[in-house]
């Protein structure tokens, strides 16, 4: 809660990651990284072989996870592209935690 008190802005951003990102524990690692950074949102596999979701939290932390989604991912994944959309400032978090959706 320290970051919030400092008046750091909160943002919400949607993401979709393409490449070899299903069947490689990508969702589990994304959830772990998001929790480590104190972010909320969700992640799920899509029917067309990508992983998508939403991230919410302090701007700086969200940027860190975006970078992670672009370059790191899970150990066995191969990321070809990470796209981000619908970025907006929010006044309060809309999720309680970071969930893996089926």
pLDDT tens for 18-58 read: 999 999 999 999 999 999 999 999 999 999 999 999 999 99
Can 61 be counted among the known catalytic residues?
A: no
pLDDT band at residue 1 under the 50/70/90 scheme: very low
Break the chain into its structural domains and give their ranges. 15-100
Cα 38 from Cα 60, distance rounded (Å): 11
Burial label, 94 (beta-carbon count in 10 A; 0-12, 13-18, 19+)? exposed
Mean pLDDT of the residues in the chain: 94
Place of tokens 């907006």: 88
Can 86 be counted among the known catalytic residues?
A: no
95: nearest Cα among 32, 39, 34: 39
What is the CATH T-level fold of the domain 15-100, as seen in this structure? Alpha-Beta Plaits (3.30.70)
CB 68 within 8 A of CB 31: no
Task: Write down the pLDDT at residue 8.
Answer: 66
Cα 18 from Cα 50, distance rounded (Å): 5
Active-site residue, from 27, 61, 81, 86: 27
pLDDT higher than threshold 70 for residue 96 = yes
Cα 57 from Cα 90, distance rounded (Å): 9
pLDDT higher than threshold 70 for residue 7 = no
Active-site residue, from 45, 61, 70, 86: 45
């Amino acid at each position: 809660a320290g970051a919030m008190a400092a008046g750091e802005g909160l943002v919400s951003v949607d993401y979709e990651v393409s490449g070899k990102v299903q069947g490689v524990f990508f969702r589990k690692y994304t959830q772990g990284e998001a929790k480590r950074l104190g972010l909320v949102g969700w992640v799920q596999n899509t029917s067309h072989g990508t992983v998508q979701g939403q991230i919410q939290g302090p701007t700086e932390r969200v940027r860190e996870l975006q970078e992670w989604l672009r370059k790191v991912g899970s150990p066995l994944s191969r990321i070809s592209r990470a796209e981000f959309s619908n970025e907006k400032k929010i006044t309060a978090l809309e999720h309680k935690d970071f969930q893996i959706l089926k």
